[in-house]
Amino acid sequence: MAALSQTRAPIFEALERFRKMRVVPFDVPGHKRGRGNPELTDFLGKQCVGIDVNSMKPLDNLCHPVSVIREAEELAAAAFHASSAFLMVGGTTSAVQSMVLSACKQGDKIILPRNVHRSVINALVLCGAEPVYVNPDVETNLGIALGMKVSQVERAIRENPDAVAILVNNPTYYGICSDLPSIVALAHRHHMLVLADEAHGTHFYFGDHLPVSAMDAGADLASVSMHKSGGSLTQSSFLLAGPGVNPGYVRQIINLTQTTSASYLLLSSLDISRRNLALRGREIFQYVVDLAQYARGEINSIGGYYAYSHELVNHDSIFAFDVTKLAIHTLDIGLAGIEVYDLLRDEYDIQIEFGDIGNVLAYLSIGDRRQDVERLISALAEIRRRYQRDKTGMLTQEYIEPKVIATPQRAFYAEKESLPLRHTAGRVCSEFVMCYPPGIPILAPGEQITVEILDYIEYAKEKGCSMTGPEDPTIQQLNVLKGE
């Protein structure tokens, strides 16, 4: 194989060659380069549906790559400072699950913060591993969960020396980072793997003065959402592996759940986006940092809002902060974050990433423009002027520490019964309840339901949070373990 050059995009180049070959298709997909579905072709365009093709020798095969996909993975590994990289077309959910399934099997213990994305707990349902939760501190003024303290991780290791892995958010949705290098060193001294959920940290690999990336910190596996801050198509991600990981085994794990019909639209978007970041990433993300810092200053000058940044860093539970995350606390204008989220969308045609009980997040990345940020700033100023009210009686706490009674797998598959929401206090939940986004469970299978949690669920519903997870879509009922 030729020497690696980040100017290459081998999957994209192979598709371009294939497009010129005028191959007659007697394979899937059945739309046959769009001819069988003209409405879809008109909507997406001939070029797009023309490369929506099946795996074949000139285009390689994601399940067992030997040519252009393998070269694209090697280029990704080099760009992201990893020993191995895997192209993922099932979203970062698939990457996270493959990461956990590679490290854990039934009965193994894994140390992790409770404020993880549901995909992590989904993986525990699948493999039967036992979570050892490090309950993060909460920033009481903002009501958000923070990172894991090294001292908390040390205590968890001391109490669970048989744990096989530690999972770390790098960063959290709100931009909070734990001391990943110290956690990695600590874990490796105790022969434990370190897994990083880096869904919101793609830019760490290409930015100056940003928190350390998982691979540079020495983590063993990291799931990276290229489609979030990296510019690729939705549902495309990377799974990165360090030198101590067997890439052949990881590939086998990925192939347990990932499709055998990988979309070449997603694969080529990963290829092209990796090339873009490798060649221009530092310049791109410096622009994003500068834009976020400008927006932060303007929003804080409005009054009533707090767009937080580096000043939160305490070198412990907030070891570092990702300044590209434009998270804004809203409670001081008497509005829940979800209320500001809804107003921005419904009244100002501005769609931000999420709103929770006390905060909103405007996700800034490579495609944002100064004029769009100005529009957001103006809208926030007008919302404060038009809708500000007294904040008395508003909930402030975003994170509620759970009590784990059973493993996620046992609770999920156990015999269960459905009860009215308010009748479930004291029982053990057998399903998920979460606001999405961000998709961090309020309740996960195996956790005890408390009055405080029920109050939070009803308050979040009342404020307009999009609640997902339970079998009952109205969340009037919850499934609980029968007899427990």
pLDDT, tens only, 344-362:
999 999 999 999 889 999 9
pLDDT, tens only, 300-355:
999 999 999 999 999 999 999 999 999 999 999 999 999 999 999 999 999 999 99
Rounded mean pLDDT, 109-132:
95
Question: 168 forms bridges with which residues in the sheet?
Answer: 196
Confidence of residue 256 (pLDDT cuts 50, 70, 90): very high
* Per-residue model confidence (pLDDT) at position 483: 85
Residue 243, pLDDT above cutoff 90: yes
* Per-residue model confidence (pLDDT) at position 1: 43
Residue 446 contacts residue 410 (beta carbons within 8 Å): yes
Confidence of residue 462 (pLDDT cuts 50, 70, 90): confident
CATH architecture of 408-481: Alpha-Beta Complex (3.90)
Rounded to 10°, the helix 91-103/247-257 angle is: 130
For the chain, give the percent of residues with pLDDT over 70.
99
Q: Check: CATH 3.90.1150 for 279-387?
A: yes
Residue length, the chain?
A: 484
Find out whether the peptide bond into 171 is cis, omega within 30 degrees of 0: yes
Confidence of residue 3 (pLDDT cuts 50, 70, 90): low
pLDDT, tens only, 59-98:
999 999 999 999 999 999 999 999 999 999 999 999 999 9
Rounded mean pLDDT, 448-465:
90
Confidence of residue 396 (pLDDT cuts 50, 70, 90): confident
Which of 214, 220, 7 has the alpha carbon at shortest distance from 98?
Answer: 220
Is 408-481 in the same CATH topology as 279-387? Answer: no
Return the domain boundaries, the chain: 64-277, 279-387, 408-481
Top CATH class, 64-277: alpha beta
Residue 287 contacts residue 324 (beta carbons within 8 Å): no
Continuous segment of H or E residues that includes residue 88: strand 84-88
